[in-house]
Amino acid sequence: MGAGFAGLACADRLIQLGHEVVVLESRNRVGGRVWSQPLVPGDDDTVIERGAEFLLDGYDTLHGMLRRFNLTAAPTTMSYYVREPRGTTPPVTAEVVAAAARSLNAAVQAANPHISLRDFLDTHPQFPTESQVLAARAAISWATSETELSVKVLLGAAASVQPLPTARVAGGNQRIATALAAELGDRVRFLSPVVGVHAIDQGVEVRTKDDVLRAERVVLTVPLPLLETLDIQPGLPQTQGDAMARLGRGHAAKLHAPVHPRPAASAVLDVPNRFWCWTATDGSGQVQPVVHCFSGSPGALAGLRVEAGADTWLAALQALRPDLTISAEHALLTTWDDDPWATFAYSSLSVAARPGDEELIRLPHGRIHIAGEHTAGEWAGLMEGALRSGLRAAEEMHHREGSALTG
């Protein structure tokens, strides 16, 4: 259920293990929260990511997919991990922020995970300006307020301030999904939203808006909010539902706009307005004639008046980057919240999380298995996490099915 990265990876692996598979997808495309398209229609030089953007350090599973399908990881030249902070008083450099983060690392390691990032930074006042940057950086990256984020998010890959290389898939990250879907062929059924999953004797009954399918097992790879509202009979155990409820819920938006002439590669963080922007190379080796922006957390989106369109954000971007000649024509604002098959950006580690929640969230429920980025633990919220979760669910299902046959 779901033809995003998790569902496609799961189905692909199940076929390799000898199972018959059907993938039910609500949309008319594959990829889920990974969606690539030209910003300027017909101009492949302007391919953007409406959803997940960067290939980060440790993306071993994703790089394996690239090799398998002869796809290329295109270096971005700028690094996702290093952003020039602007708008602080007094001004501060990325190098000074990185030094402060390293100084705080031991305290973060020892901190109680139920302490919020905001409270932690307030009790370590030796880096007042650097803390502004770290709080903004984490809230943006995790798309959640620093008052709701656990301090432990500073230990994750997304919070790293080291100049590690980053990339995108040449031609668009969605090419991984389309390659997997091509292998699956007509096993992928589009415009087939599932409305109910009910246990029956020796199997599962899956109800779509137009059909009822019966299967031996089902894997649910839909975003967390949709999973929580799905008609599952019998319902998930209370302990599992409570663990899901303790996950953070990220709300984010992206803005892409043409720039002329081609800029240099760059990464700049607007600390007070809580967004960052970048210009990056693509598969051609040239910097795209596009500036990309990302903002996360409800407060940041409200400040940028995202619900009213792109104008406020474009004005803030031009003020932040007077070095760029930005065109409003073809500028595109995208969100996850207004997508009925997503309803949020991705999960995050909240102060409410408890030990063991990761295992509870992904626990099989009879013949119902659960995958998706929200089940990926330290890889939650990332493309790599989605892929890993799908492969994990496939192996889990295969093992349980084999045990049932031999038992």
Looking at residue 190, which CATH number applies to its domain?
3.50.50.60
Torsions phi, psi for 298 (to 5 deg): -55, -40
Q: Are residues 96 and 220 in the same domain?
A: no
Q: Are residues 269 and 329 in the same domain?
A: yes
Would 95 be classed as within a structural domain? Answer: yes
Domain count, the chain: 3
Torsions phi, psi for 399 (to 5 deg): -65, -45
Residue 167 in this model has a pLDDT that exceeds 80: yes
Q: What is the largest CA-CA distance in the chain?
A: 69
User: Could you tell me the two tokens for 179?
Assistant: 């390659």
Q: What percent of the chain has a predicted confidence (pLDDT) above 90? A: 94
CB-CB contact of 243 with 107 (8 Å): no
Q: Are residues 272 and 293 in the same domain?
A: yes
Q: What pLDDT is attached to residue 405?
A: 40
Q: Are residues 136 and 88 in the same domain?
A: yes
Q: Are residues 93 and 134 in the same domain?
A: yes
Q: Are residues 95 and 68 in the same domain?
A: no
Distance, CA of 235 to chain centre: 27
Of 159, 187, 210, which residue is a domain's last? 159
Beta strands in 222-348 (DSSP E): 231-233, 248-249, 252-258, 266-270, 275-279, 290-296, 332-335, 347-348
**To which H or E segment does residue 179 belong?**
helix 174-184
Q: What pLDDT is attached to residue 155?
A: 86
Torsions phi, psi for 280 (to 5 deg): -145, 155
Per the prediction, the chain carries an average pLDDT of 95
Q: What pLDDT is attached to residue 401?
A: 72
Write the DSSP symbol of residue 326.
B
Would 347 be classed as within a structural domain? Answer: no
Distances (CA, A) of 23 to 128, 181, 341, 396: 50, 10, 15, 18
Residue 156 in this model has a pLDDT that exceeds 90: no
pLDDT grade for 157, boundaries at 50, 70 and 90: low
Determine the structural domain holding residue 105 and report its residue range: 84-159
Please state, in angstroms and rounded to a whole number, the distance separating the CA atoms of residues 290 and 46: 7
Q: Are residues 286 and 312 in the same domain?
A: yes
Amino acid letter, 361? I
How many other C-beta atoms can be found within 10 angstroms of the C-beta atom of residue 127? 19
Q: Are residues 311 and 177 in the same domain?
A: no
HEC assignment per residue over 121-163: HHCCCCCHHHHHHHHHHHHHHHCCCCCCEEHHHHHCHHHCCCC
pLDDT grade for 161, boundaries at 50, 70 and 90: confident
CB-CB contact of 88 with 124 (8 Å): no
Would 343 be classed as within a structural domain? Answer: no
Q: Are residues 241 and 107 in the same domain?
A: no
Would 340 be classed as within a structural domain? Answer: no
Would 345 be classed as within a structural domain? Answer: no
pLDDT grade for 163, boundaries at 50, 70 and 90: confident
Of 304, 335, 366, which residue is a domain's last? 335
Would 341 be classed as within a structural domain? Answer: no
The pLDDT tens digits of the residues spanning 334-391 come to 999 999 999 999 999 999 999 999 999 999 999 999 999 999 999 999 999 999 999 9
Burial of residue 198 (number of CB atoms within 10 Å: 0-12, 13-18, 19+) = middle
Would 357 be classed as within a structural domain? Answer: yes
pLDDT grade for 407, boundaries at 50, 70 and 90: very low
User: Could you tell me the two tokens for 150?
Assistant: 């656990």
Residue 404 in this model has a pLDDT that exceeds 90: no
CB-CB contact of 390 with 10 (8 Å): yes
CA atoms in the 13 A half-sphere facing the CB of 157: 20
Would 346 be classed as within a structural domain? Answer: no
Torsions phi, psi for 342 (to 5 deg): -130, -60
CA atoms in the 13 A half-sphere facing the CB of 65: 29
Q: Are residues 244 and 370 in the same domain?
A: yes
Of 130, 159, 188, which residue is a domain's last? 159
Q: Strand, helix or coil at 254?
A: strand
Please state, in angstroms and rounded to a whole number, the distance separating the CA atoms of residues 397 and 324: 51
The pLDDT tens digits of the residues spanning 103-135 come to 999 999 999 999 999 999 999 999 999 999 999
User: Could you tell me the two tokens for 120?
Assistant: 């932690």
Please state, in angstroms and rounded to a whole number, the distance separating the CA atoms of residues 407 and 405: 6
CB-CB contact of 116 with 151 (8 Å): yes
List, in sequence order, every residue forming a beta bridge with 38; answer none if it has no partner: 47
Q: Are residues 256 and 204 in the same domain?
A: no
Q: Are residues 70 and 96 in the same domain?
A: no
| Total residue count of the chain as it appears in this document | 407
Q: What pLDDT is attached to residue 143?
A: 96
Q: Which of 111, 114, 113 is nearest to 124 (CA)?
A: 111
